[in-house]
Amino acid sequence: MLVIKRRYKNNLPSVETRTSKVTYSLPFEEAWAVFNGCFTQAYSHLQNTPVQRYAYDFLQMESGRSCSGNEREVGSCYCYDKAILSPAGGVVVKVNNRSNDSLILGKGRYFNRSNHIAGNYVIVKHAEEQYSLMAHLKKDSMLVKAGERVVRGQKLARCGNSGNSTEPHLHFHLQNGPNFYTSVGLPIRFSDITIQPCPRYVQMDEEGVMNIQVIQHTSVPIARVTSDSILIFDVDSALDLMASVYYQSGARRLILDSSAIDERFFDLKTRLAGDILQKFVNYQTKLAIIGDFSVYTSKSLRDFIRESNSGSDIFFVGDEMEAITRISRA
C-alpha cells in the first residue's frame, strides 16, 4: 500500500479527479441491495485499502433478511447461485475457479477455504486502466476463460461464498490494473439503473465490528483493538486481523481482549494457540492479550503463559496499562 501511495503521491483517484472512460451496468439481474460500499468516505467499502476504496458488496433481500432459512447454509441465501454478468464489453484477463465456499460460522466469523481473499473471481479489461473485478464466486461456475472477449450483460459465473466472505454476496469494484494487490480502485459510473429504498438489512455479521485505537506510548504505534465479536478463531482470521490493523493504523503491536479470541485457543490440545501465535512471530507483530487467566486450571496453559511472558513477542496480561507497558518495552 505504501508503494501505491508513493506512486500517486497520496493523491489517489477520486470522483473529482477521475473521469470514467466507460459506463457500467450492474453485474446481475433482478433487484439487489448494496450493504457495503459507496463513493463517499463515510460509507466506503475500505477507505484505507486503495484497491477497494470504491468497491460495492451486493446481495438480495426479502423483508430485510438475506436468507430464507438457516443462515449458515449458503444455499438458503437469496443471491446464492444467481448469475453474475459482465458490466460492460471487454476481455477477460484473469479467473480463479478452484476455491470452495467459505464456511459460515456465525457472528461475523467464517472459515476461508481459498488461497485468495477474493476467493473465485473474474477480472475483465474494459479500457486502458479500467478493469472490473467480480469476487466471491461459486466454485466451478465460471463460464469464461482468460483471453476471451465478452459483451455487456454476458453471463460470467454464479454468486458464491468463496474467499473472505461472511455470507454469500457479490463484491464488485473497478481498478486501474489487472493485479488485485497492486492496483488502485476507481469510481464507477453506472448507467440505466434504478435506485429504490429497501428495508433495514439485518446483517449476519452486524456484531462483528472492530474498533482500532492507535496509542502513541512511545515512538512506535500500538493498536488497541476492541470488538463485541470473536476476531481470532483460526490461523487465517489471525492473518486477516494483522493485515487489517496494519493497513488501517500502520501498527505492528496489538492489544486484544481475550474475549475476542475463540475459547479453543486456550485449550492447548487443539494446537490453535501455537499455530496462531507463531504467525504473529513470523510477521514480526507483537501481541498483548488482556484477560483473567486465573480461571484456567490447566498447568500446561499456565506454563505456556509464563513462558510467553518471559519472552518479547506475546504477553498475557491483566489490564490495558500493563499491556501497554509490556508491549512498549518489547
Please report, for the chain, the start and end positions of each structural domain, with discontinuous segments joined by +: 2-186, 210-329
pLDDT tens-digit map of 272-305 = 999 999 999 999 999 999 999 999 999 999 999 9
Fold of 210-329: Transcription Regulator spoIIAA (3.30.750)
- 2-186 maps to CATH 3.40.50.1820: no
Residue written as grid cell 488497541: 224
pLDDT at residue number 206:
43
- Of the two residues 246 and 95, the one the predictor is more confident about is 95
Q: Can you give the pLDDT at residue 114?
A: 81
Per-residue confidence band for 228, with pLDDT thresholds at 50, 70 and 90:
confident
pLDDT of residue 45: 59
- The pLDDT mean for the chain works out to 86
Give the Å distances, CA to CA, from 215 to 218, 238, 256, 257: 8, 21, 13, 16
Confidence category of residue 146, pLDDT binned at 50, 70, 90: very high
Q: How confident is the model at residue 101 (pLDDT cuts 50, 70, 90)?
A: very high
